[in-house]
């Protein structure tokens, strides 16, 4: 009989070159890639299919050109299909937690469109020769448990051999075609509301280096495994039309994308942004991921910080998040905050305001 490896001694994060959504390709590279593809390669909303297609013109409500959280296809007057995918490298050492985080993160893009998830497929890359499959089974169990709590069935998947483990899901959901949340619907005067605290990137980076206190890691994992379902339901109940989820491009990066798509600017109140416990201390101690550094350089021409914003808070606003909250724009923030609070979302913070001005510009005040 071959000796079984001690699975408890395996640190999954040591196998990962970057943590969670911090391993996304930088926004600058993604922009360049999309622009280089040229027209007609990826389907855009309103486009008429060039060749034979089952799609009727106009039924693709959100496509690649929109750069939104998920694609949306109208099925009939009441129903639209929502389609999205996400996967990443180990963000924590516990396999079940990694699975739960990756699933909550993949499902989040459906909630960010105002949909609810129906079916999912596991996307898995695994070093089959060196890493026991029992660990992968724990990852998949974690993912399935979160999907089940979302009312979403995992119905299959795909697994490749890869020296670096990766896990995530492709998810199909349903939404009402006339009640979608899109990235291009923020309007001057709207308040910006955030439904989770930020700081998962610094906590994950510190954890990878063995420096995150247990209670700090626990709070970050609790946040990352929490579904954005309640936040999405609250936003639907309040008639919100503009939303995105906060992930690897950071709070300011995803806000910038929303503002750019909507043709507006915004002012953010740094002091109103909720921070995870320990995040500020770990930022001060230098646990800043490569993804966050990419966000900082990408956002340089777009964001002006008041001198009164503490430097570590300014870093956290650009911290690469994994499975972050929803960022919602609303003309009726009091009603939305009350609805979020009644549904016990992790946060319900008014963090700024949409303003008329150059598309994508952000001013950060203390
Ligand atoms: N390889 C790719 N081919 C086509 N489109 C892509 C590709 N990678 C990213 N995109 C598109 O670029 C946009 C931004 O991608 P990104 O992964 O940041 O969105 P997202 O799914 O909302 O991210 P997250 O899951 O982290 O919230 C999305 O509209 C996405 O569909
Ligand atoms: Mg998203």
Pocket test for ligand 1, best of 23, 44, 61, 64 (most atoms within 8 A of CB): 64
169 CA distance to ligand 1 middle (Å): 13
Q: Which two tokens stand for residue 204?
A: 């994950």
Q: Is 314 exposed, middle or buried (0-12, 13-18, 19+ CB in 10 A)?
A: middle
107 CA distance to ligand 1 middle (Å): 14
Position 5 scores a pLDDT of 59
Position 239 scores a pLDDT of 97
Per-residue pLDDT of the chain (366 residues; tens, 9 = 90+): 344 556 777 899 999 887 666 788 899 999 899 989 888 788 888 766 666 576 777 899 999 888 999 999 999 999 999 999 999 999 999 999 999 999 999 999 999 999 999 999 999 999 999 999 999 999 999 999 999 999 999 999 999 999 999 999 999 999 999 999 999 999 999 999 999 999 999 999 999 999 999 999 999 999 999 999 999 999 999 999 999 999 999 999 999 999 999 999 999 999 999 999 999 999 999 999 999 999 999 999 999 999 999 999 999 999 999 999 999 999 999 999 999 999 999 999 999 999 999 999 999 999
What residue spans of the chain are helical by DSSP H?
A: 27-37, 95-111, 133-149, 200-208, 214-224, 229-237, 250-262, 279-284, 290-299, 311-316, 333-342
Is the distance from CB of 255 to CB of 327 less than 8 angstroms?
yes
Beta bridge partners of 72: 62, 82
244 CA distance to ligand 2 middle (Å): 6
Correct CATH for 7-179 of 3.40.50.720, 3.40.50.620, 3.40.50.360, 3.30.1330.10: 3.30.1330.10
The domain locations on the chain are 7-179, 191-365
For residue 34, give the ligand nearest its CA: 1
Index of the ligand 1 atom closest to the CA of residue 248:
26
Q: Which two tokens stand for residue 37?
A: 């593809």
Phi and psi torsions of 348, nearest 5°? -150, 70
Position 131 scores a pLDDT of 95
Position 266 scores a pLDDT of 98
Position 324 scores a pLDDT of 98
Position 1 scores a pLDDT of 39
Tell me which CATH code domain 191-365 carries: 3.90.650.10
- Distance (Å, whole) CA 63 – CA 350: 29
Pocket test for ligand 1, best of 24, 30, 201, 258 (most atoms within 8 A of CB): 30
3-state helix, strand, coil in the chain (%, to 5): 40, 20, 40
Phi and psi torsions of 277, nearest 5°? -55, 135
Index of the ligand 1 atom closest to the CA of residue 85:
21
Q: Whose CA is nearest to atom 11 of ligand 1?
A: 67
Position 16 scores a pLDDT of 86
Phi and psi torsions of 172, nearest 5°? -115, 135
**Residues marked as binding for Mg(2+)?**
69, 109, 245
Pocket of ligand 1 (CB under 6 A): 21, 30, 42, 64, 67-69, 84, 86, 109, 245, 247-248
* Cα 167–chain centre separation: 15
Active site positions, annotated: 21
152 CA distance to ligand 1 middle (Å): 21
User: Strand pairing of 242-245 and 326-330?
Assistant: antiparallel
Give me the DSSP letters along 269-324.
EGGGS-B-TTHHHHHHTT---HHHHHHHHHHTTTEEE-TTS-HHHHHHTTPPPSS-
The ipTM assigned to this model is 0.92
Position 219 scores a pLDDT of 98
Q: Is 195 exposed, middle or buried (0-12, 13-18, 19+ CB in 10 A)?
A: buried
């Amino acid at each position: 009989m071959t000796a079984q490896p001690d699975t408890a001694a395996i640190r999954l994060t040591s196998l990962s070159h970057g943590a969670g959504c911090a391993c996304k390709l930088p926004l600058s590279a993604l922009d360049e890639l999309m622009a280089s593809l040229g027209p007609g390669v990826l389907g855009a909303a309103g486009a008429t299919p060039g060749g034979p297609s089952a799609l009727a013109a106009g039924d693709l409500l959100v496509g690649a050109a929109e750069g939104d959280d998920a694609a949306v296809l109208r099925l009939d007057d009441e129903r639209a299909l929502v389609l999205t995918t996400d996967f990443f490298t180990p963000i924590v050492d516990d396999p079940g937690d990694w699975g739960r985080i990756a699933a909550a993160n993949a499902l989040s893009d459906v909630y960010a469109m105002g949909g609810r998830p129906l079916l999912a497929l596991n996307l898995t890359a695994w070093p089959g020769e060196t890493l026991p499959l029992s660990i992968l089974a724990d990852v998949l169990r974690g993912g399935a448990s979160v999907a089940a709590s979302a009312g979403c069935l995992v119905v299959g998947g795909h697994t490749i051999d890869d020296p670096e483990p990766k896990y995530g899901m492709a998810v199909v959901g349903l939404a009402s075609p006339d009640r979608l949340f899109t990235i291009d619907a923020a309007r001057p005067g709207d308040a910006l509301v955030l439904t989770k605290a930020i700081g998962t990137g610094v906590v994950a980076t510190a954890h990878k280096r063995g420096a995150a206190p247990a209670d700090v890691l626990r709070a970050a994992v609790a946040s990352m495994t929490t579904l954005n379902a309640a936040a999405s339901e609250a936003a639907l109940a309040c008639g919100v039309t503009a939303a995105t989820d906060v992930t690897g491009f950071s709070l300011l990066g995803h806000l910038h994308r929303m503002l750019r798509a909507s043709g507006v600017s915004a002012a953010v109140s740094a002091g109103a942004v909720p921070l995870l416990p320990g995040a500020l201390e770990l930022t001060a101690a230098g646990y800043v991921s490569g993804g966050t550094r990419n966000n900082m350089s990408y956002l340089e021409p777009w964001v002006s910080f008041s001198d009164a914003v503490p430097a570590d808070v300014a870093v956290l606003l650009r911290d690469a998040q994994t499975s972050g909250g929803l960022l919602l724009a609303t003309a009726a923030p009091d009603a939305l905050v009350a609805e979020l609070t009644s549904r016990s979302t992790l946060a319900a913070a008014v963090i700024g305001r949409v303003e008329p001005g150059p598309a994508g510009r952000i001013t950060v005040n203390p």
